[in-house]
Amino acid sequence: MPQTLSRNCLGSSNSNSSSSKVATLLLLASCSSLVAAGGGSREGRCSGSGYMSVGWSGMSRDKCIERAAEVHKDTSQCSFLSYSSSSQPQQQSQFCFCFKDCSELAYPSKEVWETMNPEEAKATSDSSVSATVVIAAIAAFAGLLVVTTAVVVCYIRHHRRIRAATSLRDASGVDGA
């Protein structure tokens, strides 16, 4: 029924309409802002033993970044953050390390690590979340605008048909009763 209604009111259900193109562009913009949320990270873990583990079991990447930024702000001992989502470091709660210095990166086998400046990563993550919320709001508004426009077009076409039918009936002299 809804598909029939849209065909009757709008003429066709063209998937290449301008509204679907706008929605696609908004989706691509959302994805690109999420990809940009890396915060200038590099692959690998800072080498050396001069680190502080600031992670705990179940901690997310974002929470690790937030905690490392707090540690750096309070102590200046976390200029670099090395984070791993690999299973072994996660299981051992050894996945969120703060380093004061990081002259070399290590690449432990069977583990994936990324190293970043925690303050830059937090700022990028915060702005990315804000951008994502704005994009989602714009997408919702655009969707609402498309639906509202479709309803108005249907209403106008429906009343034009009624007026045309009434005019034809009046012109032919047929009584509507």
pLDDT band at 22 (very low <50, low <70, confident <90, very high): low
Residue written as tokens 């290590």? 106
- Tell me how far apart the terminal alpha carbons of the chain are, to the nearest angstrom: 30
Q: What is the pLDDT of residues 151-169, one digit of tens each?
A: 888 888 888 888 887 877 7
In whole angstroms, give the CA distance from residue 66 to residue 71.
9
pTM greater than the 0.75 cutoff: no
SS3 99: strand
85 neighbors 62 (Cβ within 8 angstroms)? no
Residue 131 main-chain phi, psi, to 5 deg: -65, -40
Does residue 4 surpass a pLDDT of 90?
A: no
User: How big is the chain, counted in residues?
Assistant: 177
Q: What is the pLDDT of residues 121-154, one digit of tens each?
A: 877 655 455 556 666 667 777 888 888 888 888 8
